[in-house]
Amino acid sequence: MSATEDALRILSWNVNGLRACGKKGFRRWLDRSDAFLVGVQEVRAKEEQLEERIARPKGWWTDFQAARRKGYSGVGLYARRAPDELATRLGSPSLDAEGRLQLARFGRLVVANVYFPNGSGKGRDNSRVPFKLRFYRTLFDELARLRRGGKRILVMGDFNTAHREIDLARPRDNKDTSGFLPKERAELDRWIRSGWVDTFRRFEPEPGHYTWWSQRMGVRARNIGWRIDYVLASKGALPFVQHAFHQPDVKGSDHCPIGVDVTGRIVG
């Protein structure tokens, strides 16, 4: 679906290192995406470290936000036109140091491209869960302010949380693993109760649909995965969402691209 007056395609992809993904077909995928807007997460590079064909492809406006720590985190946006406004901070030095957020406004539409923290910590000890939840809650409050202002909001990216048992292949084996802890899932419950809608589940209620797979041999081929990448729609944005989907056949990362098709009237 092309970026016309009547329809817009919006895509999200955790690329697990944009330089590496760039060598595995990212630019070809981007050129064929038929998208109006593409958000990428886990860029793991500053803009000046990216090849020109990846950082500034012809026909695209781009923006990249890097973490202070080298080779870590980071988000990027590709759009067919510059947004009317772009914000990249939550107002907390510790939360903003990791390059995890872009809020791009196109008319009344705001697209949040977000790389939510992983809570596992260096030793898989779940030590980063408090930081992760603080990021969730701070962003929630900022988005609530935008909703009150009449904005139509899509929040897309790697949420690093599987919401329900249907969203991972082996829930029993991962009940103590960050990404499926009760407190993490409860935070996503809070978002849903407040009116955010998981667009993929709006169209696809069945199990077996994942967006991330371990890179261990054969795991992706056997579809032993997690669904941790989402596009959430506010109540104001939802009526404009026509379709939500995954692209599991697209390789180049341990995640696959996801997206929504929306009517062009969403920006009006």
Cross-strand pairs, 76: 40, 64
pLDDT digits (tens, 9 = 90+) for 28-71: 999 999 999 999 999 999 999 999 999 999 999 999 999 999 99
Amino acid at 73: S
User: What domains, with CATH codes, occur in the chain?
Assistant: 7-267 (3.60.10.10)
Catalytic option among 96, 158, 198, 261: 158
What token pair was written down for 87?
């914000």
Using DSSP's 3-state secondary structure scheme, residue 215 falls into coil
Q: CA–CA separation, 67 vs 97, rounded Å?
A: 6
pLDDT digits (tens, 9 = 90+) for 197-255: 999 999 999 999 999 999 999 999 999 999 999 999 999 999 999 999 999 999 999 99
Q: In the chain, what is the straight-line distance between the N-terminal and C-terminal CA atoms, in Å?
A: 19
User: Can you give the pLDDT at residue 1?
Assistant: 37
Q: How much is the mean pLDDT over the chain?
A: 96
User: Residue 170: CA atoms inside 13 Å, Cβ hemisphere, count?
Assistant: 11
Q: Catalytic site residue 158?
A: yes
Element (H, E) at 205: none
Place 3 in a pLDDT band, splitting at 50, 70 and 90. very low
Q: What percent of the chain has pLDDT over 70?
A: 98
User: Can you give the pLDDT at residue 5?
Assistant: 55
Mean pLDDT computed over 153-169: 98
Taking the CA atoms of residue 160, residue 161, residue 162 and residue 164 in that order, the dihedral angle to the nearest 10 degrees is -170
DSSP 38-59: EEEE---S-GGGS-HHHHS-TT
Q: CA–CA separation, 111 vs 241, rounded Å?
A: 13
User: Can you give the pLDDT at residue 6?
Assistant: 81
- Geometric angle at alpha carbon 14, from 254 and 208, rounded to 5°: 55
Place 194 in a pLDDT band, splitting at 50, 70 and 90. very high
What token pair was written down for 168?
């991972």
Q: Are strands 37-41 and 7-14 parallel, antiparallel or unpaired?
A: parallel
Is the whole model's pTM more than 0.75, yes or no?
yes
User: Can you give the pLDDT at residue 124?
Assistant: 79
